Structure 1
Amino acid sequence: MRDMAKNKFHDGPGPSQRQLRVGELIRRTLSEVLMRGDIHDPDLNRMSVTVGEVRVSPDLKIATAYVLPLGGEGQEDVVPLLARNKGELRRVIGKKLGLKFSPDLRFRIDTTFDQMDETRRLFAQDKVRRDVEG
């Protein structure tokens, strides 16, 4: 019974050390490639893209990159631009990292900054501040 309650709040074990290591390597490489403009797409090269995190599936076949254009402008354009160039990005990442199999890349908007702003806003409310301090 106790195990059922525990599983109700968790989706299972967290990512393995291997997933975390490969995700971070992909994040750094993807950031570097986008910063240097190594991709042959002028529309993408005009954008400054921040790669906040890369999550890799347990079998390392899928890598989901959480991205945000610098300044937050152009959010609706960045994911389609990256998706349009994912084949070239995948080849460059596989080559630079020397991976046996380069994972399929997927892109999502990184909402971490929005969540942090909302958390700060909540903690700034008088009622919440009284509860925290009291």
Structure 2
Amino acid sequence: MESKRQKQVGKQIQKDLGEIFQKDFALSFDGAFVTITDVKVSPDLAIARVYLSFLMAKDKEAVLETIRENTKKIRGIFGQRAKNQLRIVPNFQFYIDDSAEYAQHMNEVFSKLDIPPAPEDDEEDDDIYTR
């Protein structure tokens, strides 16, 4: 269970990293639009797991690798923004968030299921409590 402080820091990281990706790194992503879907912060606020979603990305793994290669630079820019709010600038760990794709896949699986209609009950069964 995350504490209130962890949630606050996570939301701040999500907001700031979103701005950093849009302003400072937009050209580095080969036209892909990167969205931060979630941030989980460790109890000591030293590690932040950042979950990313990609739109218009030809190769998600390549974009993720570019982000991971620039983690130190991203952390530095974030540190300048958050220097008055956080004592420790967390180390970022970036992951692909595939929950939207998984949900879409599950919807496709459910739509392909052939579920027969329920059998109709006789009227006598409906009147079981009236006897």
TM-score by length of 2: 0.75
Please identify runs of 4+ aligned residues in structure 1 that moved more than 4 A: 125-131
Match of 1:108 in 2: 95
Q: Which stretches in structure 1 are left out of the alignment for 5+ residues?
A: 1-13
Q: How does 1:1-134 map to 2 (within 5 A)?
A: 14-36=1-23, 38-39=24-25, 42-44=27-29, 46-98=31-83, 99-126=86-113
Q: State the number of aligned residues.
A: 116
Q: Take 1:78 and 1:129, find their aligned partners in 2: how far apart are those partners?
A: 45
Query: Does the aligned pair in 1 maintain the 2:49–2:92 contact within 8 Å?
Result: yes
Partners of 1:34 and 1:45 within 8 A in 2: no
CA RMSD of aligned residues (A): 2.4
Q: Which amino acid aligns with 2:89?
A: S
Distance change >3 Å, CA 67–CA 127, structure 1 → 2? same
Which structure has the larger Rg over C-alpha atoms?
2
Deviation by residue 1:5-55 (Cα, 9 ceiling, x = unmatched) = xxxxxxxxx11111111111101110111111x24x953474321111111
Q: Which of 41-50 and 76-85 deviates more? A: 41-50
Higher helix share: 1
Structure 2 vs 1, CA of residues 32 and 128 (structure 1 numbering), >3 Å: closer, same or farther? farther
Identity %: 28
Q: What residue identity is the alignment partner of 2:12? A: L
